[in-house]
Amino acid sequence: MFNTTGWNRRRYTLYAPIYDAVAERAFRRARRASLAQVHWRPGMRVLLVGAGTGLDLPFLPRDIELHATDLSPAMVRRLERRAEALGRDLEAEEMDAARLTYPDGHFDVVVMHLILAVMPDPARGLAEAHRVLAPEGQLCVMDKFQADDRPAGLARRALNALTSAIATDITRQARPLLEAGGFVIEQDTPVMMGALFRALLARPA
Ligand SMILES: C[S@@+](CC[C@H](N)C(=O)[O-])C[C@H]1O[C@@H](n2cnc3c(N)ncnc32)[C@H](O)[C@@H]1O
């Protein structure tokens, strides 16, 4: 499988200049629906993991403390520019989702949009999200997933060899991943292309 963190850093650095043209309109409704599932309160400390160019920013409340990370420096630069253009305070850092440098229990909300299907080891990303979330915190996930009740078939697994190298894994199952990561799923909503893309809200068990 040609999906490593080093490769993802390189390819997302290449994709950064065209990312908005591909992803802004396509995912607008899905990301808005996903973020609407969060129970927002003023002053919450929020972390966007693998934030990309910051396409979530317009759909986030203003009265929160916002932090964001991405593996690719080119993405982080665009994220900072978007925050500035929107007049938002944002602490952005280049960081691997598998090794967050924040303390335990630091965030009220962790948002993982379109990253669990990209990371080579999503369980590791979820373990870090779990660690940095407060005990009553909320995990907000939106991504493409294989149905929970049946593993990917042979054809899908074969196609995945290509899609996971250039775009995204298409064989991951949300519920097994999140539950094994110590989360309880509170909401699970199909948001795009039938039930291929789902928005999940979960809390540490
Ligand atoms: C498909 S894009 C999603 C970006 C954004 N979350 C969105 O919803 O538009 C995946 C992003 O994850 C970042 N990424 C990939 N692997 C990562 C990792 N291990 N740690 C942090 N970011 C990562 C990429 O650089 C890219 O910006």
Cβ 192 under 6 angstroms from ligand 1: no
**Rounded to 5 degrees, what are φ and ψ at 137?**
-70, 170
- 17-31: average pLDDT: 98
Q: What is the pLDDT of residues 132-156, one digit of tens each?
A: 999 999 999 999 999 999 999 999 9
- Minimal CA–CA distance to 120: which of 37, 9, 202? 9
83-117 pLDDT, tens digit each: 999 999 999 999 999 999 999 999 999 999 999 99
* Interacting residues of 10 by C-beta distance below 8 A, sequence separation 6+: none
Does residue 13's CB lie within 6 angstroms of at least one atom of ligand 1?
no
What are the boundaries of each domain within the chain? Answer: 5-204
- In b/e form, how buried is each residue of 28-39, taking b as 16+ CB within 10 angstroms? eebbebbbebbe
pLDDT tens column, 168-177: 999 999 999 9
- How far is the C-alpha of 191 from the C-alpha of 205, rounded, in Å? 24
Find the helix or strand (DSSP H, E) in which 134 lies. strand 133-144
Reported as a pLDDT band with limits 50, 70 and 90, residue 165 is: confident
Work out the number of other CB atoms within 10 angstroms of the CB of residue 119.
23
Return the residue whose CA atom lies nearest to atom 26 of ligand 1.
52
Residue 79 Cβ inside 6 Å of ligand 1? The answer reads no
CATH topology assigned to domain 5-204? Rossmann fold (3.40.50)
Q: Is the pLDDT of residue 2 over 90?
A: no
Count of alpha carbons within 13 angstroms of residue 183, beta-carbon side: 30
The whole-number pLDDT of residue 1 equals: 54
Cα of 144 vs centre of ligand 1, distance in Å, is 14
Pocket perturbation via mutation, ligand 1, pick of 8, 32, 53, 82 by most ligand atoms within 8 A of CB: 8
pLDDT above 80 (res 166): yes
Neighbours of 23 (CB within 10 A): 17
- Counting Cβ atoms within 10 Å, is residue 197 exposed (0-12), middle (13-18) or buried (19+)? buried
Planar angle of CA 84, 87, 88, nearest 5 degrees: 85
Tell whether ligand 1 has an atom less than 6 A from the beta carbon of residue 50. Answer: yes
- Decide: 71 in ligand 1 pocket, CB within 6 A: yes
Q: What is the mean pLDDT of residues 125-133?
A: 98
Query: From the CB of 23, is ligand 1 less than 6 Å away?
Result: yes
Is the CB–ligand 1 distance for residue 16 below 6 Å? no
5 alpha carbon to ligand 1 midpoint, in Å?
10
Mean pLDDT of the chain: 96
pLDDT of residue 3: 81
Distance CA 163, CA 154 (A): 14
Q: Compute the chain's Rg from CA coordinates.
A: 16
Percent of the chain with pLDDT over 90: 96
Residue 46 CA neighbour count, 13 Å, CB half: 24
Ligand 1 atom closest to Cα of 96?
Answer: 20
Q: Is the CB of 55 under 6 A from ligand 1?
A: yes
- CA–centroid distance, 26 to ligand 1, in Å, is 16
The Cα 123–Cα 191 span in angstroms is 23
